[in-house]
A and B are shown apart, each in its own frame.
Chain A
């Protein structure tokens, strides 16, 4: 579904094909270029566009993919696990309630080491029912053993989908990945996205080389019952695989950067050096924060941004290195952890800083639930207040709600 494209000729060998895509479409287009063997998915707002666009590719014979249009997300994830065991390349996408319904099988996908890629259109969970963006859905499944990546824009949605297959299918990893897009803000907003040509994509990402574990010529039992004498060892191996993610991710992003000029990593720092105040966040909010930070920097205020692409495995060392020199760290949590000391992201930040020699003040701002906008003036005042706290060393509240009527 190309809405516009302009091919730049000339000597630059880097791809210059630009398409107009929403975040959902960018993910579907990346999937189309990824030689995906099986897509099993169930529609849910705001993920629907991904499934609809992909079924167009199937209907028009543009892909060899077997598209299984299942009757629920639970069956979507179940079919994905079954398909992945054959060594096929597998993709799905969901959101919110759908992700919650998959929860049970997500643990099995990672436990059975199935390198499935899943687009997650982050959306609030019921009740009350709400279809708009927040990250409570993924945070509810954060311990399911999946690699979790958060995108800031449609370009990242495309880029991370392609890179995720390489990370997931690496023999030392073999873990599933969620590519997270903020509901509506990213899933439905159209942007210019630079893409590979189909040929370039094929070269970058050849067909899956993952071993078939259901080969009739080599019968094996998958999903055996493991009692206290073996279960623990399986879980330990799974944790070891998680440890392999970071080095593999760095290699993959390095290669991708060489090919495209767009260099990714575990996290992105903006003006964190010498910053008194650093805001830490995930996803699309980083764009707003960056623009506010840029403006405040131009006024001589020492503020910065730390955006995490990789949330699981949590890049602890890198995060600590990025924020330990700051005086105040403000964490933006677009999810609620009722009864917990902090929101999910802030809990990780606080844990990481416990080991640090220098300890900034850490505060948590819960924001944007159910798709409530967070505005540049709100971020400006968050920075301003934090700059005062940086001087006084005092914060009023450790955890605060931003943008809620009280």
Chain B
């Protein structure tokens, strides 16, 4: 059951006036998620854009209790908080259940924070982990992460005359989380607000850990117009570049069918980080990305128990 606009609270738990960039997808992801809380909630954050731009002392944009400790440990911190409230409850020093929501970027999640996250998922702490994925270390100036797509130019995977941007593919983060056997893992895009927000509420209601991987654009890093921020995260879905699905207790389910996918070029050409791929000599790279997109889509379809919608393309020149 999807949430509807009318049901949404007008209360903003992430207050306006923070210092995130115009068009920042992370703020949209956090704001939407906080509209789905069900009661007393504590937010934990890993170091990143969302943290530095919302908590510049003596100001804060957070109207919920909020803790930021470091970069790689948000899941461990959340686990400690959850454990403490339970212990306090056990000895009668605390009454209400507290929901713990983590917001962490792709750097703090895919890379430096994956150990702490894996540990916290395995221990089955009751918390929701939302990874806002803007596909690079944007806070420190657009360096590549394990979530950066193949071919994207970043400041540590620059498009050079020899190497055309990032040489590795995006990690299957949802798959890694699902392998922990937890009740809820899903992917989402801020362009599909009701799908995302419904998943947030589902994740909160899970008794145990839940993970949401939400694509959240960064116009600075993606080299696109700030006004196209939502459009970019919609294009990623419509090209099947970023499939939306959920994995409940190991069972995959497609959240959004894309019957008439746009060519992945439509997404790539809209973002400056891929512009070098449009040189004639890089044509093979575009084909490679299209092929990966098709294969990944079919992989997800088969995990969802659905038939492949098109035969994978024949391998082209590398």
Interface size class for chain B?
35 or more
Q: How distant is the Cα of A71 from the Cα of B51 in the complex, in angstroms?
A: 25
Question: Beyond the given A72-B115, A78-B69, A104-B70, could you list 11 further A-B residue pairs with CB under 8 A, ordered by the A residue number?
Answer: A35-B91, A37-B87, A64-B90, A65-B87, A85-B84, A86-B85, A207-B93, A214-B42, A221-B55, A221-B60, A222-B65
Looking at the assembled complex, report how far the CB atom of A336 sits from the nearest CB atom of chain B, in whole angstroms: 29
Q: In the complex, which residue of chain A has the Cβ closest to the Cβ of B96? A: A216
Residues in chain B near residue A76, CB distance under 8 A: 76
Bound together, the chains give a CA A80 to CA B80 distance in angstroms of 6
Contacting pair B42 A37 (CB below 8 A): no
One of A66, A79, A217, A230 near B57 (C-beta < 8 A): A230
Do A68 and B79 have beta carbons less than 8 Å apart?
yes
* Neighbouring B residues of A88 by C-beta, 8 Å: 84, 87-88
Most buried by B among A70, A75, A212: A75
Interface stretch, picked from B118-126, B183-191, B220-228, is B118-126
B41 contacts partner chain A, Cβ-Cβ < 8 Å: yes
| A-B pairs with lowest CB-CB distance, top 5 | A79-B80, A82-B80, A71-B119, A216-B40, A223-B68
Q: Which of B39, B66, B67, B83 has the most CB of A within 10 A?
A: B83
Given A37-B88, A74-B73: A68 in contact with B80 (beta carbons within 8 A):
yes
Q: In whole angstroms, how far apart are the Cα atoms of A362 and B51 in the complex?
A: 49
Cα distance, A83 to B44, chains bound together (Å): 12
B81 in contact with A83 (CB, 8 Å): yes
Whether, in the assembled complex, B98 has its beta carbon less than 8 Å from a beta carbon of chain A, the answer is yes
Chain A residue with the shortest CB-CB distance to B98: A216
Is B179 at the interface (CB under 8 A from chain A)? no
B21 contacts partner chain A, Cβ-Cβ < 8 Å:
no
B83 and A79: CB pair below 8 A?
Answer: yes
A75 and B55 contacting across the interface, CB-CB below 8 Å: no
Cross-chain contact A82 with B69 (CB below 8 angstroms):
yes
23 CB contacts below 8 A, A to B, read: A37-B87, A40-B79, A66-B87, A74-B73, A75-B79, A78-B70, A79-B79, A83-B80, A84-B84, A85-B81, A86-B94, A212-B94, A213-B65, A214-B42, A214-B65, A214-B67, A218-B65, A220-B66, A221-B66, A221-B68, A224-B60, A225-B51, A230-B57
Answer yes or no: A328 CB below 8 A from chain B CBs. Answer: no
- B84 near A86 with CB under 8 A, answer yes
Main secondary structure of the interface of A (DSSP, over half): loop
CB of A266 within 8 Å of the partner chain: no
Contact of A49 with B by CB under 8 A? no
Question: Within 8 Å CB of A218, what residues of B?
Answer: 65
Kindly state the separation between the CA atoms of A214 and B96 in the bound complex, as whole angstroms.
13
Question: Residue-by-residue, is A214-241 near B (CB-CB < 8 Å gives 1, otherwise 0)?
Answer: 1111111111111100100000000000
Binding site for A on B (CB under 8 A): 39-42, 44-45, 51-52, 55-58, 60, 62-70, 72-73, 75-81, 83-88, 90-91, 93-94, 96, 98, 115-116, 118-120, 122-123
B34 CB, nearest partner CB in chain A, Å? 12
Task: Tell me the bound Cα distance from A90 to B87 in angstroms.
Answer: 11
Residues of A within 8 A of B55 (CB): 221, 223-225
Rounded to whole angstroms, the CA-CA distance of A221 and B42 in the bound complex is 10
> In the complex the two chains form, is A75's CB within 8 Å of B116's CB?
yes
A79-B119 Cα distance, complex, nearest whole Å: 11
**Once bound together, how far apart are the Cα atoms of A105 and B79, in whole Å?**
15
- Complex contact B91–A64 (CB within 8 A): yes
For residue A40, which residue of chain B has the nearest CB? B80
